[in-house]
Amino acid sequence: MPSPGGIGVYTAKLVSSLSDLGVEVQPVVALHRSAAIGDAWAEFGLAGKLPPPARLYLPRAALYDAWHLVSWPPLSRDPATDLFHAPSLAVPPRGRGPLVVTVHDAAHVLFPEAFTARGRWFHAMGLRAATRRADLVITGSQAAAGELAEHTAVPAGKIRVVPYGVDQGPPEPNPSVLARYGLAGLPYVLWVGSMEPRKGVGTLVSAMARLLKGNVTLGDTALVLTGYAGWRNASLIAEEDLVQLGPALHRLGSVPARELSALYAGAMVFAFPSSHEGFGLPVLEAMAAGVPVVASDIEALAEVTAGAAVLVRPGDVDAWAGAIEALLQNPARRATLAERGRLRAAEFTWKRTASATLDVYREALGSS
């Protein structure tokens, strides 16, 4: 049961932090193997903290379609359940209590070409269900709230902004993890995300290929890409850039959370060239880890970073190469930016996210 990137992190951290606040949480999942559920629970430290998830009897895709098309099966029949929360656009039918849905962005409306046909269908049906069924809708940024209000049918009066959180304190470097991935002793630029068109990976790879070509001063600097396979990823990276980078490009795929922490800790620069985000959780994770950040100059990332990152126009390969080079060659600038990032990231805790989410629950319960 692989975690679906940022949404998986958000869900796991939120339920754990709600539990810390004394909220009784009963997780519910689609039909997965018991071993896969156990692995996910262990990875996010939920084992022994939350009750085992109730498992519905349909696999994920079939369950979501049944929810969206025929409002079945119910998420829970327990009459003691006060409220239901869907942390993504997999929106269950209404139960006896109010329903809160987290809608992370309106990307499928703004960039339909960046999704598969199945992805567009799922998001459209889920958004329609959220619009009709949800008492309140949570999203992570003012930028996301604005695009939901402007480009979807979700009533602006139902939208509540609850910023996401991040684990506090810089992670400890872990040489054994870096050695396992062939990165021991290497300076590297890191990217984390899902391989999909909106993430701008091709821009970053092109920028690094241009930057490293014949550049003796940058020596053995590497580019590290890690994250989920995503979709529509066959032609995201130009073949000539792959050839140019050669062994300087490390494509790690998905890595466990504990190893991702070590990758953040070891990076010289974190680069995040997305053309669209609703929040940009990896940027916050990098800043919390004390890594200087270069990110796209888009509304959500400008909001989250608040002057603590270098912002570059998405898609501009020369600008990205120049911004990354300037940081790699200026240790003092990296240190200043890293400190700004740490201070900004300290404003975002999962406890605050859970507390603000609990306020939304109380509002929904009070108006139901």
Structural domains for the chain: 5-165+349-367 (3.40.50.2000), 175-345 (3.40.50.2000)
Q: How many CB atoms lie within 10 A of CB 58?
A: 15
pLDDT at residue 4, rounded to an integer: 52
Q: What is the pLDDT of residues 203-226, one digit of tens each?
A: 999 999 999 987 878 889 999 999
pLDDT at residue 189, rounded to an integer: 98
Q: How far apart are CA 115 and CA 107, in angstroms?
A: 9
8 A C-beta contact, residue 49 and residue 16: yes
Q: What percent of the chain has pLDDT over 90?
A: 81
Written as one string, the DSSP assignment of 249-284 is EEEEE---HHHHHHHHHH-SEEEE--S--SS-HHHH
Query: Residues 6 or more apart from 239 whose CB is under 8 A from it?
Result: none
Q: What is the pLDDT of residues 39-70, one digit of tens each?
A: 888 888 898 899 989 999 999 999 999 999 99
Q: What is the pLDDT of residues 287-343, one digit of tens each?
A: 999 999 999 999 999 999 999 999 999 999 999 999 999 999 999 999 999 999 999
Token digits for 231?
């979709």
Q: What percent of the chain has pLDDT over 70?
A: 99
CA angle, 152 then 2 then 304, to 5°: 50
Torsions phi, psi for 139 (to 5 deg): -140, 165
Q: How far apart are CA 285 and CA 287, in angstroms?
A: 6
